[in-house]
Amino acid sequence: MEATLPPPRPGTPHMRPNPSPRRLRTLAAGAIRVCVGLVILGVAVGGYTVLVSTTPTTVRLAERDMAITVRTVTAKEVDVSRRWNGYGTTRAMRTADVGAEVMGVVAERPDGVEAGARVKRGDLIVALETEEFEQIVSRTQRAIDSFLSDIEALDVEEESLKESLDLASEATRITQWEIEQLEDARARGAGAAAEVNRLQRDLTRFQREERDIRQRLEVIPARRQRALSQIELERANLRLAELDLRRSRIVAPIDGALQSVDVKLGERVAPGMRIARVVDLSRIEIPVRAPLASAANLGPGDPIEIIVDSPGGIRRTGMIERIAPEADPRTRTITLYVVVEQDPFDTSGGLLLPGQFVTAALESRLRQPRLVAPRGAVANDRVMIVGDSSQAESRDVRVLHYIEGHFPDIDPDETQWAVLEAGLSPGDRIIISNLDELRSGSPVDPVDAGQVAQRPEERESR
């Protein structure tokens, strides 16, 4: 522990104290730091001097040596059609929900009648018990036979009554003649009153019999008509009974495939109950929602390419069958009804199935000359072309639509194109490579894409 010196007395001369060891150490450390910093600074200055002295002299390259080699195609007019894409969901044009028309118990279901099985029109799906229907048919037939017998009996009765009526009429006529003869005899004083009275009674009896027979004869046609009406009624009942008997066999109404079978053996079914669903895959319809502008360029009978939105992309060609008369003002679309015909027994795996989402490639019938550019060369409605002095130049373009095609005169390797309405002129050289490196005004060394594609062939020929 250091001793503390007392303060100097007044009037005594001031004496400077000796520096302490701690202060001396601090001064020495600072001096060392200064020396190290000076050494580092000297090394840095020396290194910089060496680097500057050894730097190679830069030589400014010529502008042509800085040009970027780019592939180009020449803008040309080609005949193209207008194309659109539409979208829709497939559905079968013919389906049938097969229902029971009579009540009964399922007595038969053939083997193989399962969901997914192919059926033809008239093939049995299930059969109901028929005993009750057969009894109704038999009872109705017997009723018809009974009424036919009644008509035959009426015919016999009618003939008999006609004969009886003739006899009664003849007896009445004879009796009247006898009465007239007796009346004449009595007038001459020869006839007996008792005999006249007897003949009068006989005449009354014969007239009553004639009247009764005539009445019975007059109702014969009505009785016959009633029997005929009963026969017609029973025949109608017979037809219904036979129809119910046939309806006990539930068959496929159309050719197709079974979507489902909803009943089992022994199950009781009621009229209206669904038994099965049959779907015909031979004609598939797609209500395609297409841009409204396509309606003026398409019509019934035009072919349409259908592409299934699934891995593998099944492609089928359909035909416009009809067009909806009204457009949707909210989506500015119109509905085209496209029909695709196919073999429902095709096993290649390329069948269109109801419920699939598809894309429809629509193409107008009219073809017009338009400038086209490779689709990859168009970015944000701009293309790069080779301008004056072999410099890249950016041009604004207006794209009508995009197409897929092959134009070897322009670029033999390109298949995706943008159809242009404005912005370029025939003969403009469109840059299709190194677009990320170019700016408007960049020097370029253009090479025609067609020549690049031909070089390997030229090498082979050499």
Residues facing residue 269 across a β-bridge: 104
- Provide the pLDDT for residue 347: 73
Q: Torsion-angle region of residue 320: left (phi > 0), alpha (psi -120 to 50) or beta? A: beta
Task: With H, G, I as helix, E, B as strand and everything else as coil, classify residue 337.
Answer: strand
Whether residue 184 lies inside any domain: the answer is yes
Provide the percentage of residues in the chain whose pLDDT is more than 90: 35
Q: What is the CATH number of the domain that holds 271?
A: 2.40.50.100
Lowest mean pLDDT among 23-27, 120-124, 196-200, 406-410: 23-27
Verify that 343 and 408 share a domain, yes or no.
no
Which residues 6+ apart lie within 8 Å of 191 measured at CB?
182, 183, 184, 185
One domain for residues 346 and 436: no
Do both 105 and 159 map to the same domain?
Answer: no
Q: Classify residue 336: in a domain, yes or no.
A: yes
In a domain, 49, yes or no: no
How many domains is the chain built from?
Answer: 3
Report whether pLDDT(8) > 80: no
Residue 62 falls inside a structural domain = no
Q: Are residues 140 and 200 in the same domain?
A: yes
- Is the pLDDT assigned to residue 2 strictly greater than 60? no
* Residues 178 and 327 occupy one common structural domain: no
Query: Residue 281 is inside which H or E element, if any?
Result: strand 274-291
Q: Would 172 be classed as within a structural domain? A: yes
Cα–Cα distance measured from residue 304 to residue 323, given in angstroms and rounded to the nearest whole number: 13
Q: Which of 166-170, 244-248, 388-392 has the highest mean pLDDT?
A: 244-248
Q: Torsion-angle region of residue 272: left (phi > 0), alpha (psi -120 to 50) or beta? A: left
One domain for residues 261 and 229 = no
Q: What is the pLDDT of residues 129-173, one digit of tens each?
A: 999 999 999 999 999 999 999 999 999 988 998 898 888 888 888
Which pLDDT value is given to residue 244?
93
Q: Are 259 and 278 in contact (CB under 8 A)?
A: yes
From 306, 328, 355, the end of a domain falls on 355
- Verify that 240 and 273 share a domain, yes or no: no
Give me the phi and psi of 222, to 5 degrees please. Answer: -65, -40
358-373: buried (b, 16+ CB within 10 Å) or exposed (e) per residue?
bbbbbbbeeeeebbbb
Instruction: CATH number of the domain at 377, please.
Output: 2.40.420.20
Could you tell me if residue 26 is inside a domain? no
Q: What is the torsion angle, in degrees rounded to the nearest 10, for the CA atoms of residue 177, residue 179, residue 184 and residue 186?
A: 160
- Domain extent for 416: 70-80+368-461
Percent of the chain's residues with pLDDT above 70: 88
Q: Are residues 415 and 440 in the same domain?
A: yes
Query: Phi, psi (5° rounding) for residue 92?
Result: -75, 135
To which residue do tokens 């009996």 refer? Answer: 153
The alpha carbon of 389 is separated from its chain's Cα centroid by a whole number of angstroms, namely 57
The more confidently predicted of residues 452 and 80 is 80
Confidence of residue 191 (pLDDT cuts 50, 70, 90): low
- Which of the listed ranges 48-62, 345-359, 426-440 does the model predict with the highest average pLDDT? 345-359
Whether the pLDDT of residue 125 is over 90: the answer is yes
- Of the three residues 191, 213, 245, the one that is the final residue of a domain is 245
pTM of the model: 0.57
pLDDT for the residue numbered 56: 62
Residue 27 inside a domain? The answer is no
Q: What pLDDT, on a 0 to 100 scale, did the predictor assign at position 236? A: 94
- Is 313 inside a domain boundary? yes
* Token pair for 207: 């007239």
Same domain, 394 and 292: no
